[in-house]
Amino acid sequence: MVGFSLGGPLKIPKIYNGGNKTSFFAHFNLIRGTSPQNILASVPTAAERQGDFSGTTIVSGQGAGTMPVIYQPSATLGPRTPFADNIVPSSMLNQASLGLLSYIPLPNLPGQVQNYHVQLSLPTASQMFMGRVGHQISSKDNLAVMYFYNSSHTDGVTGFPNITSTTTSRMQNVSLTETHNFGPDTVNNFAANFNRARTGITNPFSFNQNI
């Protein structure tokens, strides 16, 4: 993290001299770091990726320890037909699903549940700027203008390191304040504010076709 602050009377050589009536203050902050990720997830086994569920068992609940029966899809009513030996023929594997499997890693732990573990360190970045100019119009009136800007960039991951997400945000604020002193017990403060915020989340599939 690095940053600086600067303030004082506003003087621009040969252009403007605020003397003791106009002042400014500016601050900038820059942060760069990493975010640790410790993820445990369940992914299809090598056999399941090829449509072979003959070794798959129900892990918990009713029927735990038994093999689930996978039926052939049918658009008609009537008895369902199970796949022989719980194996889906390669000709019936959906091409879109096969394409998605390229983003899902193979297990690196034994078992069917929580069989994949990954530890990552992902970058994070943010920057902030704030500037303020104040001016004494008269002994009873003061004017101030302030601008605030903040942006950040953070990479995240789900259970699959190849399917990451990037979150970017940007926030801006401009405010104008005028203070008028009517007397020892009456002060009027007028303020106008403009705020704008934007957040975007993208993934490796963004702006691509036929993934």
CA atoms within 13 Å, Cβ hemisphere of 26: 4
Predicted TM-score (pTM) above 0.85: no
Query: Per residue in 59-80, pLDDT tens?
Result: 888 888 888 888 888 756 677 8
Residue 116 CB: number of other CB atoms within 10 A?
A: 19
For the chain, where are the E strands, in sequence order? 2-9, 11-12, 16-17, 22-41, 116-136, 141-157, 164-183, 186-202
Alpha-carbon span 135 to 22, nearest angstrom: 4
Round to the nearest angstrom and report the end-to-end CA distance of the chain: 38
Structure confidence at residue 27 (pLDDT) = 97
Structure confidence at residue 121 (pLDDT) = 86
Query: Per residue in 145-177, pLDDT tens?
Result: 999 999 999 888 766 766 778 899 999 999 999
Structure confidence at residue 110 (pLDDT) = 93
Write out the chain's pLDDT in tens, 211 residues.
Answer: 899 999 999 988 888 888 889 999 999 999 999 888 888 888 999 999 999 999 898 888 888 888 888 888 875 667 788 888 999 999 999 888 888 888 888 999 998 888 988 888 888 999 999 999 999 999 899 999 999 999 999 888 766 766 778 899 999 999 999 999 998 889 999 999 999 999 998 877 777 776 6
The vertex-115 CA angle with 112 and 117, nearest 5°, equals 165
Structure confidence at residue 148 (pLDDT) = 97
